[in-house]
C-alpha cells in the first residue's frame, strides 16, 4: 500500500493548494498543544493526501511561533509516513536565483529558542537520533523524478540555512552563511525536519526561491517582490506535486 503523505505548505499556500479537494478538516489534539491549523484530509489529482498550512490558515504564525512539535506529532498520529515540505526561500549561491525550484540535500540550523525535540526527557526519554542526512534520499529522488516527468527543472542540491526570522538577514549574515556553505536561506525547515526524523517520518522539501539573499540584489527585498515570485512559481510547484503523487500512488 502507498505510504500516507502529508504536505506542509509554507508562504503562499496558507489558503490551500490549488486542485486539492478537502474531504475533511480535523483538529488533532497533541500533548504538545495545537497544530498551526486543523489537518485537511483530501485528494490532489486523485491521490489521498493530508495538508497542513504551516503558518496557519490566515498566514498569521511567525516562523518562531509555529508549534512544530504539535504539527509533526499530529501528522504522525494520523498515520503519515512521508512529509513533503514546501518552503519559500532566499537564494545565496549562483544557481539559486528567484524563480528556481530546488530540492535541498542538507541543512544548517541558525535558529534558537524553538522547541526542537520530542526526546526532551519530559515527554519521552532522552535520545540522540542520527541526522547526518536531514532530507530522506529516496523521497528527494522521487521529487526530482516527478519534476523531470512534468518537465519542471529542479536544482538537485542545496544546503538550506534556517534563520530565526521573522526579520530578513543582514548582508553580513548572508555573507557568513555563504562562507558556511549555505545555498538557500529560509526560516522554517528547522526544527520541522529534525522532528520528522525523530518520529521516523520520511522528509524532503521543495524550495521555491523568491528573492536573492540580503546584500545580493540591488534593490531592498520587499514583500511585493516575494509575493510576485510566489504568484509566478507556485503553479510549477503544484504541477511538481501532482506529478509526485501520481508517481508514488
> Which residues sit at the interface with ligand HPA, rule CB under 6 A?
88-90, 163, 168-169, 185-187, 210-211, 213, 221
- Give the Cα separation of 140 and 105 in Å (integer): 8
Which residue's C-beta sits nearest to ligand HPA?
A: 90
**Shortest gap between Cβ of 192 and ligand HPA (angstroms)?**
14
**Shortest gap between Cβ of 78 and ligand HPA (angstroms)?**
28
Which residue's CB is nearer to ligand HPA, number 200 or number 220? 220
If you search the block for the grid coordinates 529558542, which residue do you land on? 113
Contact (CB, 8 A) for 177 and 92: yes
**Shortest gap between Cβ of 143 and ligand HPA (angstroms)?**
20
Which residue's CB is nearer to ligand HPA, number 82 or number 186? 186
**Shortest gap between Cβ of 43 and ligand HPA (angstroms)?**
29
**Shortest gap between Cβ of 242 and ligand HPA (angstroms)?**
24
**Adjacent-strand bridge partners of 3:** none
**Shortest gap between Cβ of 208 and ligand HPA (angstroms)?**
9
CA quadruple 146, 129, 66, 4: dihedral, nearest 10: 40
Which residue's CB is nearer to ligand HPA, number 40 or number 163? 163
Closest listed residue to residue 14, CA positions, set 53, 41, 46, 66: 53
Which residue's CB is nearer to ligand HPA, number 153 or number 170? 170
- Give the Cα separation of 131 and 236 in Å (integer): 30
Count CB-CB contacts under 10 A for residue 215: 15
- Give the Cα separation of 184 and 142 in Å (integer): 21
Which residue's CB is nearer to ligand HPA, number 61 or number 210? 210
Per DSSP bridges, beta strands 106-109 and 159-162 are parallel
Amino acid at each position: 500500500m502507498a505510504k500516507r503523505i502529508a504536505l506542509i505548505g509554507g508562504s503562499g499556500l496558507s489558503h490551500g493548494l490549488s486542485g486539492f479537494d478537502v474531504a475533511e478538516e480535523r483538529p488533532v489534539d497533541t500533548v504538545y498543544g495545537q497544530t498551526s491549523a486543523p489537518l485537511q484530509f483530501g485528494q490532489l489529482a486523485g491521490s489521498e493526501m493530508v495538508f497542513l498550512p504551516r503558518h496557519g490558515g490566515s498566514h498569521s504564525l511567525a516562523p518562531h511561533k509555529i508549534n512544530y512539535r504539535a504539527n509533526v506529532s499530529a501528522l504522525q498520529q494520523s498515520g503519515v509516513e512521508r512529509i513533503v515540505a514546501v518552503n519559500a526561500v532566499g537564494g545565496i549561491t549562483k544557481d539559486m536565483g528567484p524563480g528556481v525550484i530546488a530540492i535541498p540535500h542538507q541543512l544548517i540550523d541558525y535558529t534558537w529558542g524553538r522547541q526542537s525535540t520530542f526526546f526532551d526527557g519530559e515527554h519521552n526519554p532522552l535520545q540522540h537520533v542520527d541526522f547526518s542526512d536531514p532530507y530522506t534520499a529516496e523521497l528527494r529522488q522521487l521529487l526530482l523524478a516527478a519534476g523531470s516527468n512534468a518537465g519542471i527543472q529542479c536544482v538537485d542540491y542545496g544546503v538550506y540555512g534556517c534563520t530565526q526570522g521573522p526579520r530578513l538577514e543582514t548582508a553580513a549574515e548572508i555573507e557568513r552563511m555563504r562562507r558556511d556553505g549555505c545555498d538557500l536561506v529560509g526560516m522554517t525547515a528547522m526544527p520541522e525536519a529534525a522532528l520528522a526524523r525523530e518520529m521516523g517520518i520520511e522528509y524532503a522539501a521543495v524550495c521555491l526561491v523568491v528573492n536573492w539573499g540580503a546584500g545580493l540584489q540591488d534593490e531592498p527585498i520587499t514583500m511585493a517582490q516575494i509575493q510576485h515570485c510566489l504568484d509566478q512559481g507556485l503553479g510549477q510547484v503544484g504541477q511538481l506535486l501532482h506529478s509526485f503523487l501520481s508517481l508514488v500512488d
